Amino acid sequence: MIKDDHQSALLDVRGLTKSFGGVRALKGVDLSIAPGEVHVILGQNGAGKSTLIKTLAGVYTPDAGEIRWQGEPITIANPVAALDLGIATMYQELDVVDGLSIAENIFLGHEIESAGFTRTGKANKAARQLLARLGHGDLSPSREVGSLSPANKQIVSMARALSRNTRLIIMDEPSAVLDSEEVKNLFRVVRELTAAGIAVVYISHRLEEIREIGDRISVIKDGRSTANGLAVAGTPTRELIRLMTGRELENDFPPATPVAAGAPVLLEVENLGVRGEFEGVSFSVRAGEVVGLAGLVGSGRSEILEAIYGARKPTSGSVTLDGRRLSPGSVRDAVNHGMGLSPEERKSQGLLLGEPIYQNITLSSFGRFARFSFLGERAERTAAREQIAALELRPSDPDRLAGTLSGGNQQKILLARWLVHGTKVLLLDEPTRGVDVGARAEIYALIRRLSAAGTAIVIVSSEIEEVLGLADRALVIAEGKVLASVNASEISEHDVLDLVMEGSAA
Amino acid sequence: MSEQTPGGESQVPSAQPLTPVATEPEAAPDGGADARAGLLSRFMGSSAGRNLGLIIALGVLCAIGAITAGERFTDVGNILTIVRYASIIGVLSIGMTFVIIGGGIDLSVGSVLGLASVVATLTAVQTFAEVSWLLMVLVAVLVGVIAGIINGVVISYGNVVAFMATLAMLVASRGFAEILSNRSTQIVRSQDFIEFFRSDFVGIPVLIWIFIVVAALGWVLLNRTTFGRRTVAIGGNREAARLAGLQVRRHTMYLYALSGLTAGIAGVMMMGRTNVGTSTHGLLYELDAIAAVVVGGTLLIGGRGTIVGTVFGVLIFATLTNVFTQNNLNTSVQAVAKGVIIVLAVLLQQRFAARTKRR
């Protein structure tokens, strides 16, 4: 069966690996695409989907692994080579040139020309035919692309793919920019393409869409294939989520200390909303309590945290910290009054990778160690050393650069930053993403210790098990709405998923 | 602050190894590579090592000067001429270093220098300044700071790209200087002012002293104060700095105000050297300053750079000019050599930046 697959496959990938510096983005990905199918690739943010796509598009060269195209082993040296083979890619951030016309965009890189002069009339005519084929004969080929809606830009991008002899189109989250009517049109176009024998690789994490359009599914988790070519029809959603989030590693969550009966409310979120992202979020967190936000990627979890913190300006509602109403959209105000955020993207949002550990730890508080604005580096190092010892951060040298540390230790730097600063309310966004199992347990223990010491904690994680294991109370979120607020010990992961699925479908 | 002046000169190179911003990241996170890297790369990774290239470049230039021009080059008077020549661009470059480390750019400094000299030499100002010529100095510095604040506000709060905002200031302040001066050169009337800038202190001209003091204060500000730490943090990772609670906008504005301040000081120095104020003062100085900063190892993407490197960058260009002049080579040849040096420095820098990014 697998052998057959191997023979008849349009594209066959085995054991693909790719590293960037010390980070292994792909650790062994298998993929087999048949002609005329819609093959869905599922995976969480950071699972390696983008790296995989870019490798197939010739943007990256793989370190190891085999790629076969119609049975022949090949190397895809650059994007032009991919296009020449017949592999076209529609990136999420649409790669159209705003200042050029629709026809110019479609034939970008392979202009219709004679003797070096572009043949505008001929190109426009050819473009019109392609657009008509995509159900958009109404678009004028001479119109400037910058004036188009995202949906129409996508049509242009697709027409460009078809303008070459394309056998495989990779679509990276094509529905992300579309409304439901436009999604229908997209699906119609996809069906037409596949009917003509063109294969479509469809990337999405909207499970309901996958059911509608997909033929087979491959799942990637942490750079590795966890499923290859499952039939969409025969695979339950729960199974897909299991493959995507990975449950084979059971985590042990340290027991929680019950929240004291008279514990004061430290964080009060009332009717908070950011237009277009989420709305009507209300909850409160008491000293020593851990509240978890559970939901899938894109449900609005991170946005809620950012709005509470002031990193995103809310359009409605209020945040009260230990009895003080925070000025909306001011990180400074939140930090000054004792709130801290450990952001989702540690490297790009949290750390100064080229600076030493101690300066990263004191980033929010170095002013306090200074005298008349002169830095107190000795005191900073001492404070950092204390945290390094308390959190068992390795390496223990405060002068080592943050960029050289592992994910778990980088996470500890962020926790240490807020410990030094002295926060009452700690917001943790994906505190264990990219953290190995051993360090995970340490971070769980740390979160427990912090809450036992009276810190109010709000935690967001893609791993529902983690939210339920750590939190006293869980808010289930889908599509920017809070669906339920439940006692974490009284709800199972499956219940949460059922809630999320219902919420997403509605 | 002024009592730091005598110590400032020796303090700069000796204290430099402590500076946190100059430590080069170790390339690989795995321990094996660290061990193999050994002493040599450890040294090359330290700030002394990173400045070694600059020291060698300056040394080679001096050797060429000594060989080709002999005593004419090695003469103490000539050395002082080199540094004196470098001092005005040098002061501009110190402010520019902060702006660039903070992730920005300031194209307006040359024009602001000119505007400051014009405003300070206006008849009205000079009449008032008869009481004390320090008033004239104050006015020039104030003009620089105000121009810098305008840059900063437009960039930070107006969200205008630094390149465009300061380009606009470059054009506008030059024009404003022409309007105010009616395109005529205005002579400094205060004899005390002229005398002061003609004088020496411990055998070293006042202009050089100003450069030394500004550079020393700049070094302290960058390496020893919260202001410097904020600058490096914001230039290194703007988003992380913001989420850590730093006031990124306000600080960015301060950086341009600081650059304006050094432009004002440079304007005073220019008046001191030429005894006139004119709208053509400081023409294209912004490019010399940026070149010196970049050759000195400051990354144009921000987050990394040193005052010592900038001082070397300034001295390298000044020495180059002197060696060419001593050998009666024309300025066109000199310009070509400058261009080559800039490209080489940026090429080296990109290799470094690529290594930093991969982590």
Tens-digit pLDDT profile for residues B61-104: 899 999 998 888 889 999 998 999 899 999 999 999 999 999 99
Determine contact, residues A342/A429, Cβ cutoff 8 Å: yes
All structural domains of chain A, each given as residue ranges with its CATH number in brackets, are 2-245 (3.40.50.300), 265-338+424-433+455-506 (3.40.50.300), 345-422 (no CATH)
Write down the pLDDT at residue A355.
92
Answer yes or no: do A22 and B244 touch at CB < 8 A.
Answer: no
Share of chain B above pLDDT 70, in %: 83
Q: What is the mean pLDDT of chain A?
A: 87
> Is A403 close to B229, i.e. CB distance below 8 A?
no
Q: Is the Cβ pair A404, B25 closer than 8 Å?
A: yes
Q: Identify whether B231 is part of a domain.
A: yes
Residue B49 pLDDT grade (very low, low, confident, very high; cuts 50, 70, 90)? low
Whole-number Å distance between alpha carbons of A459 and A340: 12
Specify if B158 maps to a domain. Answer: yes
Residue B132 lies in a domain: yes
Mean pLDDT of A201-224: 85
Residue A52 has pLDDT above 70, yes or no: yes
Give the integer Cα–Cα distance in Å for A216 and A87.
Answer: 19
Of B23, B233, B243, the CB nearest to A331: B243
Domain contains B88 = yes
B291-331 residue pLDDT tens: 999 999 898 889 989 999 999 999 999 999 899 888 888 88
Q: Do B23 and A332 count as a contact with CB atoms less than 8 A apart? A: no
Higher pLDDT, B217 or B358: B217
Which residues of chain A lie closer than 8 angstroms to B233, CB-CB?
352, 355, 359, 363
Report the C-alpha gap between A468 and A180 in whole angstroms.
Answer: 32
A282: which residues sit within 8 A by CB, 6+ positions away? A269, A270, A271, A272, A317, A482
Q: How far is B306 from chain A (nearest CA, A)?
A: 14
Contact across the interface for B245 and A331, Cβ inside 8 Å = yes
Give the residue-averaged pLDDT of A280-309. Answer: 90
pLDDT at B28 exceeding the cut of 50? no
On chain B, the residues whose CB falls within 8 A of the CB of A332 are 245, 247
Chain A residues whose CB is inside 8 A of the B243 CB are 309, 311, 331, 341, 343, 349-350
Per-residue pLDDT, averaged over B197-212, amounts to 93
B20 belongs to a structural domain: no
Question: DSSP of A398-452, one letter per residue?
Answer: TTSBGGGS-HHHHHHHHHHHHHHHT-SEEEEESTTTT--HHHHHHHHHHHHHHHH
Q: What pLDDT shows up at residue B350?
A: 67
What mean pLDDT do residues A489-495 have?
Answer: 82
CB contact under 8 A, B244 and A417: yes
CATH number at residue B98: 1.10.3470
Location of structure tokens 């310009």: B335
Neighbours of A232 (CB within 10 A): 17
Among all residues of chain B, which has the CA nearest to that of A377?
A: B224
Is B187 part of any domain?
A: yes
Q: How far apart are the first and last CA of chain B?
A: 41
Best A337, A351, A353, A429 member to test B by mutation, with max B CBs in 10 Å, is A353
Q: Is the pLDDT of residue A146 over 50?
A: yes
Please compute the mean of the pLDDT values over residues A454-474 and round it to a whole number.
Answer: 90
pTM score, whole prediction: 0.74
pLDDT at B359 over 70: no
Q: How far is CA A393 from CA A358, A384, A448, B299, B348, in A?
A: 11, 10, 17, 30, 34
- To the nearest whole Å, the CA of B224 is away from the closest chain A CA by 5
Q: Do A375 and B229 touch (CB under 8 A)?
A: yes
Does B229 contact A354 at a Cβ distance shorter than 8 Å? no
- The minimum CA-CA distance between B8 and chain A, rounded to whole Å, is 17
**Does A334 sit within 8 Å of B245, measured CB to CB?**
yes
* Facing residue for A352 by CB, picked from B228, B233, B247: B233
Q: Per mean pLDDT, which of B24-33, B41-50, B160-169 is the most reliable?
A: B160-169
Residue B4 lies in a domain: no
- Count of the separate structural domains present in chain B: 1
Say yes or no for a CB contact (<8 Å) between A351 and B237.
yes
Could you say which of B228, B232, B245 has the minimum Cβ distance to residue A335? B245
pLDDT band at B132 (very low <50, low <70, confident <90, very high): confident
- Does B18 reside within a domain? no
Binning pLDDT at 50, 70 and 90, where does residue B208 land? very high
A238: how many CB neighbours lie within 10 A of its CB? Answer: 13
Which residues constitute the domain of residue B84?
48-358
Residue A4: per-residue pLDDT? 45
Q: Kindly list the residues from chain A whose CB atom is less than 8 angstroms away from the CB atom of residue B227.
A: 373
Interface of B with A (CB under 8 A): 20-21, 23, 25-26, 28-30, 224-229, 232-233, 236-237, 239-247, 303-304, 356, 358-359
Task: Please enumerate residues of A whose Cβ is less than 8 A from a Cβ of B.
Answer: 20-22, 309, 311, 331-332, 334-336, 341, 343, 348-356, 359, 363-364, 366-367, 370, 373-375, 377, 399, 401, 403-406, 417
Q: In the prediction, which pLDDT does A33 show?
A: 94
A348 contact residues in B (CB cutoff 8 A): 237, 239-240
Say if the Cβ atoms of B243 and A350 lie within 8 Å.
Answer: yes
If one counts every other C-beta atom within 10 angstroms of the C-beta of residue A284, the result is 15
Q: Do A356 and B23 touch (CB under 8 A)?
A: yes
Which residues in chain A have their CB less than 8 angstroms from residue B224's CB? Answer: 374-375
Going by pLDDT thresholds of 50, 70 and 90, the confidence category of residue A178 is confident
The nearest CA of chain A is from the CA of B207 a distance in Å of 28
